[in-house]
Amino acid sequence: MTHLARLATDAAQLDAGLAALLLQAEQLSQTVAAGEHGRRRPGVGDDFWQFRPFTTGVDTQKSVDWRRSARADQLYVRTYEWKTAQSLALSVDASANMHDQGNPSKWMVSAVLATALAGAAVRAGERVGSLDHRVPVGHGHGQIARLMTALSQQSDGLDQGHRLVAKSKAAIFSDFLGDLGSTHRALETAHDRQVRGILVQVLNRDEVGFAFRGPVVFADPGGMLRHETQGAHDLRDRYLQRLADRFDQLDQMAAAAGWRVERVVTDQSMLTAVTRLHHLLSQGQGV
């Protein structure tokens, strides 16, 4: 039975919507994995990685590869492939604001991207789990279906960042348009535990472009706020300035913790988005 077939079997235990999302995420993770050339990097392990010049004060005489050094005018050290299993924790904001009327919704895009990242990590031998620890960090393909189920349920996972595995990786998906208190606390905890990661800000096209004109009624999905205007275009400049201010605030908050912000618009290619996120998390570039 193929991995995709196993996931389809697991997905049958979910509702039809989640099953479809799970299969979409699986297809994305397969594509990303096919484009990768392993997880090879220098470190502690048994497999030869490469030779590098001897560094005085860092390397010892025992680490010298005398056979390789004999063929050159300097000393060389044999290094080995990095073998330590990494851990990846994921969080998806499942609040009402993420379940907008877009097709796909912000939550749908976030859930598919997060689950695709989990699938790629599992293939690389990493451990994955949810930030709120409802799915404890672990190995195996079964983690993927469990993650999708957990990510579909609203949680205060950001406030449980103290459960992050030290020196691990994390990705937090949200529109980050509401109160940033829990995000700030999660980043402080992550910084203290030397956890590096990405805040993935997922927005729809209307939120980044504000193309509204004429009479418009703005209402939040939770039904708490409502604003009616006869000239929506008059609000555009003020809205875009406030959005830019929020971007700056989030960028600075992430940078202070050693994280970065990646922005995804719901109508862009999810393959392009997940490929970039996977590359950043796996290579540690800017993370």
At which residue do the structure tokens 């729809």 appear? 204
Residue 156 predicted with pLDDT over 90: no
**Which of 186, 176, 169 minimizes the C-alpha distance to 249?**
176
CB 145, CB 10: distance < 8 Å: yes
CATH architecture observed for domain 3-37+85-283: 3-Layer(aba) Sandwich (3.40)
**Which of 233, 222, 279, 283 minimizes the C-alpha distance to 82?**
283
- The answer to which of 107-111, 114-118, 226-230, 238-242 has the lowest mean pLDDT is 226-230
**Identity of the residue numbered 105:** S
CB 63, CB 78: distance < 8 Å: yes
Q: In angstroms, rounded to a whole number, what is the distance separating the alpha carbons of residues 114 and 274?
A: 8
pLDDT digits (tens, 9 = 90+) for 111-138: 999 988 998 888 888 889 988 888 888 8
Q: In this structure, what token pair is assigned to residue 176?
A: 């980050």
Write down the mean pLDDT value for the chain: 78
Which residues on adjacent β-strands are paired with residue 233?
none
pLDDT digits (tens, 9 = 90+) for 251-282: 999 999 999 999 999 999 888 899 899 888 87
Query: 66-103 in b/e burial notation, b at 16+ Cβ within 10 A?
Result: eeebeeeeebbbebebeeeebbbbbbbbbeebbbbebe
Q: What angle do CA 161, 258, 81 make, to 5 degrees?
A: 95
CB 273, CB 267: distance < 8 Å: no
The pLDDT value given to residue 249: 97
Task: Examine residue 215 and say whether the peptide bond preceding it is cis (omega within 30 degrees of 0).
Answer: no
Per-domain residue ranges of the chain: 3-37+85-283, 42-81
Length of the chain: 287
Q: In angstroms, rounded to a whole number, what is the distance separating the alpha carbons of residues 28 and 34?
A: 10
CB 94, CB 131: distance < 8 Å: no
At which residue do the structure tokens 């484009």 appear? 35
Q: What is the DSSP letter of 165?
A: P
The pLDDT value given to residue 255: 95
**Which of 136, 178, 127, 126 minimizes the C-alpha distance to 157?**
136
Q: Is the pTM of this model over 0.75?
A: no
Q: In angstroms, rounded to a whole number, what is the distance separating the alpha carbons of residues 13 and 114?
A: 20
Higher pLDDT, 282 or 99: 99
Q: Is 140 helix (H, G, I), strand (E, B) or coil?
A: coil
CB 203, CB 196: distance < 8 Å: no
The pLDDT value given to residue 80: 62
Q: Say what percent of the chain tops pLDDT 70.
A: 69
pLDDT digits (tens, 9 = 90+) for 28-45: 777 766 655 444 444 444
Higher pLDDT, 48 or 181: 181
